[in-house]
Amino acid sequence: MTAALVIFAVIVFLFVLYAISAIKVLREYERGIVFRLGRVMKPRGPGLIFLIPGADRMERVSLRTVTLKVPNQEVITRDNVPARVTAVTYFRVVDPNKSIVEIQDVLAATSQIAQTTLRSILGKADLDTLLAEREKLNEDLQQIIDDQTEPWGIKVTTVEIKDVEIPEDMQRAIARQAEAERERRAKIINAEGEFQAAAKLSEAADVISQNPVTIQLRYLQTLLEIGGEQNSTVVFPLPIDLVGPLLDAVKDRAAGAGGSPAGEPSGPDGPATESKRALTP
């Protein structure tokens, strides 16, 4: 009786071990790839699955998006500028069977493809494109890497250029270029402002010329603005139309006072010379 109980207990223990080894639990984001006697079966999961001990071997595959940081890559741009570029890639498994059967290590293979593609694509772009058109470069990188990893059951969703490091002398050159560009824009804006101001002044002159009284009102307004400030010197602006005739009169008077009388020659044979000749015996 005791021997029978021992045998029964051993059988129960073996059955429990068999059941434990045959039962697997997969999470919602996991799939199980089962090889039965070396042949791949359909993906299992999620939930509770049963395996045949000794005949089935299962490998777990995660369907979650994986964040892969691409190591620093030394890149020579098309305009021969050295740069160190860091990128990040996001991918996920869409076909669990292919990710196990077609490739040995999905993570390592995707990382190598991302590195080589990054150097290849950025080597064809110049520095300005690398700094200003990252979105376009990201799209090109994502498309090329996704095409290469598609046979492995991998979907590359996003590739982002994270950081671009360039030499210090090139950074100073870019800063000087940006400063020159800002100065050029400032000069253009200043010239446009002067042009618009000149156009408005021309329109104002046309309005004032139609009614001369407006210039007197402007004159009084200018005196009011000057008187409102605490200045020790007061300047009275005079219109050009008023000052012009006075200046012309002064010039005419100065020319008349400095010239010879009318009808008398101013040469060496003038009246003074003739009087001296008459007094000479």
Neighbours of 208 (CB within 10 A): 14
Q: Does domain 66-166 have CATH number 3.30.479.30?
A: yes
More confident residue, 99 or 212: 99
More confident residue, 235 or 41: 41
Q: How confident is the model at residue 13 (pLDDT cuts 50, 70, 90)?
A: confident
> Chain-wide mean pLDDT for the chain?
80
Cβ distance 50 to 83 under 8 Å? Answer: no
pLDDT at 239: 60
Q: How confident is the model at residue 274 (pLDDT cuts 50, 70, 90)?
A: very low
C-alpha to C-alpha distance for 51 and 68, rounded to whole angstroms: 33
More confident residue, 232 or 259: 232
C-alpha to C-alpha distance for 258 and 269, rounded to whole angstroms: 20
More confident residue, 31 or 209: 31
For tokens 């997969």, what's the residue? Answer: 26
Q: How confident is the model at residue 272 (pLDDT cuts 50, 70, 90)?
A: very low
pLDDT digit string, tens, across residues 41-91: 888 888 888 888 888 888 899 999 999 998 888 888 888 888 889 999 999
- Cα torsion 115, 121, 125, 129: sign: negative
For tokens 């400032």, what's the residue? Answer: 186
Residue type, position 201, single letter: L
More confident residue, 277 or 190: 190
More confident residue, 248 or 152: 152
Q: How confident is the model at residue 159 (pLDDT cuts 50, 70, 90)?
A: very high
pLDDT at 157: 92
pLDDT digit string, tens, across residues 112-151: 999 999 988 888 888 888 888 888 999 999 999 999 999 9
Q: How confident is the model at residue 204 (pLDDT cuts 50, 70, 90)?
A: confident
Residues paired with residue 66 on neighbouring β-strands, in sequence order: 91
pLDDT digit string, tens, across residues 15-26: 777 777 788 888
Residue 50, both tokens:
């049963």
Least confidently predicted of 1-5, 53-57, 263-267: 263-267
Cβ distance 127 to 166 under 8 Å? Answer: yes
More confident residue, 251 or 192: 192
More confident residue, 130 or 214: 130
Reply yes or no on whether the pLDDT at 241 is more than 80. no
Reply yes or no on whether the pLDDT at 99 is more than 60. yes
Average pLDDT over residues 156-173: 85
Average pLDDT over residues 92-113: 91
Neighbours of 250 (CB within 10 A): 10
Q: What is the CA radius of gyration of the chain?
A: 49
Least confidently predicted of 78-92, 216-230, 255-269: 255-269
Average pLDDT over residues 1-17: 77
